[in-house]
Chains A and B, each alone.
Chain A
Amino acid sequence: SAVISQKPSRDICQRGTSLTIQCQVDSQVTMMFWYRQQPGQSLTLIATANQGSEATYESGFVIDKFPISRPNLTFSTLTVSNMSPEDSSIYLCSVDGQGRGEQYFGPGTRLTVT
């Protein structure tokens, strides 16, 4: 299984500002995924990031609000732009495992917007 790290692990941000979350994987992977998980809720996929192409966003998520970069096969960033308290959540990146398609998750970034 891949080892995934995320930075920052947590942050408290003011309304209207932006935060960039970094995700680093210890091996090369084709697809990386960004999820949001609000307290007590399940996972909601924000977008899928492939290296060398535009990220694919799920319904309800747009590039202007959640721009994603994928400069190489081991790294991706998610920016939460113009934040509001409704963006307070845990943001998780994940990658596909080999073969069966299971996903492995980073430790998450706990974001609080005040």
Chain B
Amino acid sequence: GQNIDQPTEMTATEGAIVQINCTYQTSGFNGLFWYQQHAGEAPTFLSYNVLDGLEEKGRFSSFLSRSKGYSYLLLKELQMKDSASYLCAVKDSNYQLIWGAGTKLIIKP
């Protein structure tokens, strides 16, 4: 079967750095996506990786290793507004999105 694993919850301090990991086993791979979802709101697209390596976008970076079935989302200079759930999703060989359960990130002052 297809599976995406993420930690359920993480806590970090304002101003610090946090890394949210995602491992996947899917039938084929056509890209990995990270989404941010604030409580009571819809998910919003953060990043996309299809080749190995690091993609940087401001305070957020996303890394992919296809051989290891592994990705992480790195958030720097954490702000209180970064408190949200972060969803990892992979497009499989049929271009269908397989979603992880999400990681709830709690930022403390």
Contact = CB atoms under 8 A, between A and B. Distances in A.
A108 B97 CA distance: 19
B42 A100 contact: no
Interface of A: 1, 41-45, 92, 97, 100-108
19 contacts: A41-B101, A42-B87, A42-B99, A42-B102, A43-B87, A43-B99, A100-B48, A100-B50, A101-B31, A101-B91, A102-B33, A102-B45, A102-B48, A104-B45, A105-B42, A105-B43, A106-B42, A107-B41, A107-B42
A108 B91 CA distance: 22
Interface residues of B, number: 19
Contact of B44 (A41, A44, A105): A105
Interface in B27-78: 30-31, 33, 41-45, 48, 50
Contacts of B102: 42
B71 to A, nearest CB: 15
Contact of A1 (B30, B33, B42, B45): B45
Given A43-B43, A104-B45, 4 more contacts: A42-B87, A42-B99, A45-B99, A103-B97
Contacts of B31: 100-101
